[in-house]
Structure 1
Amino acid sequence: MLVLGLAAALVAAAANAGAAILEAMATRRATRAAGVVTSPLYLSGLLLDIFGWVLTVLALRYMPIVAVQAIVAGQVVITVIASHWVFDTPLRRIDLVAAGANVVGLALLVGSARTGELPEVGVGGTIALIVVLVLLAVGGIGIALRSRRAVPTAFIAGLAFGGTAVAVRLVDLDGPFEEVVRTVLTDPVAWSLVGYAALGLGLYTVALARGSVGPVVAVLAVTETLAPGLLGLLLLGDGIQPGGAPWFVLGLVLALGGVVVLARSPAQASLAGDDGVARPPLKRA
């Protein structure tokens, strides 16, 4: 099942990257704000986002949290390269080095990490999941309202997105379709999953509106990978292969280091419109 999880995570990263490109194209081509959300390009990107999220959920059932989150964060590699072809943004030599480092790091992570039996969720675990959600919501919304700084808001958004990964690991999605639907509708863990996702998306949107895309994406990627990944290793059955600790650490450093460098690439600024170009010409039709 590891192969299935790996394939799902890789396709999820590609889907999220494709969604970012399509949504950026829709934003650049629109002449008014209302036209963006009704654009076929934007709607296609939204569908890809949903598809990527579903695949991420699937991957989290079969792979260690830290590996899945790092792979999905690796979508930055795809967006930077794709932005070079679509928006004609510069592709720096350091971007190519960072992309290579990310790929090598992900390979080391996947090879050195392992996952065990999914843990049983007791009442205490459910309560803890909900309490953390409430604390993040109160703190994150408070910071978003009082501060104009983007990085603290992005940090809380990363923790919230990390909470979705933990909730996915804890919610029981096994069994017939009818039973899965019943679980989604009645299980507080499933409700918290929706709450974490909504909180993360809202705070991420606020952070992007208040700061440059590079630091926001970098903080988000590191936080949503390390926080749930650590919980997975300590409490949720994830582990490291015997003798694989050095490779695991090296893989994590290379994968996240590559993402941080690429998050500050000119391509990311182009996607977010931070490059001062309203509607750049397309290299491809």
Structure 2
Amino acid sequence: MILAYGVANLLQSAAAARTTVHHTFDPALLVRLAGQRTYLLGIGCQTLGFVLAFLARRDLPLFLVQASVAAGLGVTALLGVVVLKWSLPAAEVALLALLLAGITALVLAAQPAHSRPLGPVVILLLAVSVLVIAACGFFAVRLHGALGSVVLGSLAGVGFSAAAIAARPLANEHSAAGFFANPLLYLLVVHSLLGQLLLGLAMQRGSTTAAVAAMDAAGAVPAAIVGLLLLGDRIEPGRGWLAVLGFVVTLASVIGLTRFAEPQHHHATTPARRSDARAGLRAATTGR
């Protein structure tokens, strides 16, 4: 899953950097991106990562899975070095080592268990959150520069976080009929598409580094909290400190890597102006 998302980050962000900047909350951006072979290859890798993440959520707590999704940026950084000949600063090596240590700590702290079902009130809140996130995105798309990147990236992270929350109990459906009749399936799809649109818009703004940092924080933290409070996510007895330490180290390492996981050049996205949309972003997720 981490490897698939890492490749998807590289391909999708490169495609977004070559697409004309959208200043409206327009789903047509996804259509335009889909016209690029690079983006479609990235979507294929993201789909693979999505399926593997969905299967992982059947037994693993969200604090582990969501942190691992974010860790795909580490793979993106390594691919940038190997394939695109990016430089490899010493700080990046240290961050990659911390990322590996953080994920290892989470693996040791996580206790596999099936999810508890979500009640109708929580499902209703997930449905309402689609409208709230979309409404916020409608206004946030008017923002530019680093502020626009942070706000849109945060909204994308919230959408992916909601998709992850829906996916955890859905993964424990035992029959095809129950799976397709479960409203969580459709909430998962809608939140994922909304997050993908917001991520594409955030990638085109002034600071994609800020967008990724905001998306990782907004995507991982709420899902981890909801998982522990409502879904029955478990930590091995006596290892709560290890789970907290691993989660903080992993997220901090991912945010730090956004500084380095980017190409050494800029792409023109409109005839009149250049954006600094950069490769090395994680596309999200969905269900991240």
Alignment length, in residue pairs? Answer: 259
Query: In 2, are the aligned partners of 1:76 and 1:262 still within 8 Å (CA)?
Result: yes
Counterpart in the other structure of 1:283: none
CA distance in 1, matches of 2:17, 2:192: 27
- 5+ residue gaps, structure 2, are 20-30, 269-273, 278-288
Query: Residues of 2 paired with 1:220 and 1:187: CA distance?
Result: 27
Distance of 1:158 and 1:70 partners within structure 2: 12
Identify which of 143, 146, 158 aligns with 1:147. Answer: 143
Q: Residue 224 of structure 1 corresponds to which residue in structure 2?
A: 219
**Residue pair 2:7, 2:45 contacting (<8 A) in 1 also:** yes
In the other structure, the counterpart of 1:75 is 72
CA distance in structure 2 between the partners assigned to 1:232 and 1:271 by the alignment: 40
Tell me what 2:234 maps to.
Answer: 239
Shift of 1:132: 2.2
Larger Rg: 1
2:246 is the alignment partner of 1:251? yes
Is 2:245 aligned against 1:268?
Answer: no
Range 151-160 or range 21-30, more displaced = 21-30
Query: How far apart are 1:147 and its partner, in Å?
Result: 2.4
Who is 1:94 aligned against?
Answer: 91
TM-align CA RMSD: 2.9
Measure, in 1, the Cα distance between the counterparts of 2:236 and 2:224: 15
1:133 CA displacement: 2.3
Amino acid at match of 1:152: V
Q: 1:39 to 1:131 in 2, by over 3 A?
A: closer
Shift in Å, 1:85 = 1.6
How big is the shift at 1:155?
0.8
- For residue 111 of structure 2, give the secondary structure of its aligned residue in structure 1: strand
Q: Take 1:264 and 1:99, find their aligned partners in 2: how far apart are those partners? A: 13
Alpha-carbon distance, 1:43 to partner? 3.1
Structure 1 match to 2:9? 20
- Residues 114-139 of structure 1: CA distance to partner in whole angstroms, max 9, x if unpaired? 24342123322221221222222222
Distance in structure 2 (CA, Å) of the matches to 1:175 and 1:230: 26
Structure 1: stretches of 5+ with no match in the other structure: 1-11, 279-285
* Residue 272 to residue 121, structure 1, CA distance change in 2 (3 Å): farther
**Higher helix content, 1 or 2:** 1
Which residue type is aligned with residue 191 of structure 1?
A: Y
TM-score, scaled relative to structure 1: 0.81
SS of alignment partner, residue 57 of structure 2 = helix
Higher relative contact order (CA 8 A, sep 6+): 2
CA distance in 2 between counterparts of 1:225 and 1:166 reads 11
Answer yes or no: is the 8 Å Cα contact 2:53–2:65 preserved in 1: yes
